[in-house]
Amino acid sequence: MEEIFRFQNIIHCQILERINRFTVKILKNNEEDLALLTNTGRLKDIIYKGNIGICLKKDKVKKLGYVLLGTYVKDDNYTLIDTRYQMIIFEKLFNEGKINWLKNANFIKRNVKVFNSFIDYLFKKNNGEDVYLEIKSAVLFDGYYSMYPDCPSLRGRKHVIDLINISNEGKKSMIAFISAHPEAKAFKPSKEGDEKLYYLISEAYSSKSIEIHAIKFYLKANGSVIFETDNLPIEI
């Protein structure tokens, strides 16, 4: 385990309620305010009235002056639920050579059109092989596993189908699940969250049409991000 990133100027707050998919009402310094939520999952096990959150003050204030980065779990450990920072930290890990299954690959571009989807990344291996990689946030937690998704996701199904299709053309496709819960011991897809997506991921994994990985990092009370592994066990 190592510190890979540290947020500055964080604010601890109390969660009052989730207003909508993108907004959470918080209490900070005895004053109510609103914070942006970038993770659109249901997140019912981590965003609830009375839980403690960590917010980051936005440099450019538009409608909301804060971003909810994470939520309290245990001791001084927090989830890291902000999907944008999950991507930033993944890229930092890649650039520092800490993603072992991408060490022989070079970054090419972001947001690559693949059939009916935009896939997060295109890499190219040293042997010239293209690698299409989609990142998914797996913050749902059942006491042992981090899981994805926590609600039906038509977009997620489309991504998996298109990654399978590009794999059928002989190209390399991957999904990396970001396990951002400090207590997670392994990853598995959630059948309860989306049964159709569960079977798509399971079939892709068993047939090896998509290479699947899970990366674990999480947030500490002081704003540091702890990287634990790029190879969290997967059980499908």
27 & 103 share domain: no
pLDDT at 141 over 70: yes
Instruction: Decide: 148 and 157 in contact? Cβ < 8 Å.
Output: no
Asked whether residue 57 is domain-assigned, the answer is yes
Residue 62: pLDDT band by 50, 70, 90 thresholds? low
Asked whether residue 236 is domain-assigned, the answer is no
**Domain with 62 in it:** 2-78
Instruction: Express each pLDDT in 74-86 by its tens digit.
Output: 999 999 999 999 9
**In the predicted model, what is the mean pLDDT of the chain?**
94
- In angstroms, the Cα distances linking 108 to 114, 125, 126 are 15, 10, 12
Asked whether residue 234 is domain-assigned, the answer is no
Within 10 angstroms of residue 198's Cβ, the number of other Cβ atoms is 19
What pLDDT does 57 receive? 86
Tell me, rounded to whole angstroms, the distance of Cα 147 from its chain centroid.
10
Instruction: Express each pLDDT in 9-36 by its tens digit.
Output: 899 999 999 999 899 999 998 999 999 9
Instruction: Express each pLDDT in 191-229 by its tens digit.
Output: 999 999 999 999 999 999 999 999 999 999 999 999 999
Question: How many helices, marked H, and strands, marked E, lie in the chain?
Answer: 3, 16
* Total domains present in the chain: 2
Q: Which residues of 169-193 are buried (b: 16+ CB within 10 A; e: fewer)?
A: eeebbbbbbbbbbbebeebbbbeeb
d(CA 192, CA 86): 24
Please give the backbone phi and psi of residue 192, each rounded to the nearest 5 degrees, phi first.
-70, -30
Last residue of a domain, one of 78, 113, 134: 78
Asked whether residue 174 is domain-assigned, the answer is yes
54 & 95 share domain: no
